[in-house]
Amino acid sequence: MKLVLASKNQKKLKEMNEILSQLGIEVCSEADAGVDVEVEETGTTFEENSMLKAKAVMEASGLPAIADDSGLCVDALNGAPGVYSARYGGEGLDDTGRYRLLLENMRGQTPRTAKFVSVITCCFPNGHVITARGECPGTIAFAPMGEGGFGYDPVFFVPGLKKTFAQLTSEEKNAISHRGKALEDFQKKLENYLGKK
């Protein structure tokens, strides 16, 4: 089975393929499916934005489309940046600029607890929809650590492993991450949907 990923993020595409390939599912990019869809993320929840993206790419490509909407929710910042994680601080910031702004906004703040949230939505041309959610608790580090991952990974610290997401191997990260958990839940729901269980 082939799913089109409703995202231009190559690292997200790689991560999804690593996890879903065990099911015999290939996740391809929008470009591979011959579409280029810009979706305005107007939702106020991860579920709403994930659905907007999956539905738009499914309608454009005519193929089942999978979307992930994820973000970092920091307790001391009342859940911010949340659904605005990718746009935190405005247009001009890259990943490094966003996590530096987060560290600046966290200065003197307690607690430093946070969670990554991922909502996966798959829309099928027949109208069926599968939605799955995953969360990973952690804390905000005082400084970036590690070279791996993307986004806020260098400042998201997992106390049980004493490492940030950026210090984990992709296997370690996939085993505990919000996206890994959401994809695990999605995998079970998809197997049921396809009648494999």
Dist. CA 100–CA 29, nearest whole Å: 30
- For the beta carbon of residue 52, count every other beta carbon within 10 angstroms: 19
| Alpha helix segments (H runs only) across 106-177 | 170-176
* Strand ranges across the sheet with 65-74: 26-28, 2-5, 65-74, 113-123, 129-140, 156-158, 163-164
Rounded (5°) CA angle 141-107-44: 80
Q: Does the annotation mark 153 as catalytic?
A: no
| Alpha helix segments (H runs only) across the chain | 10-20, 46-61, 95-105, 170-176, 178-193
User: How do strand 65-74 and strand 2-5 relate by DSSP bridges?
Assistant: parallel
- For the beta carbon of residue 24, count every other beta carbon within 10 angstroms: 8
Catalytic residue among 68, 69, 75, 94: 69
Task: List the catalytic residues.
Answer: 69
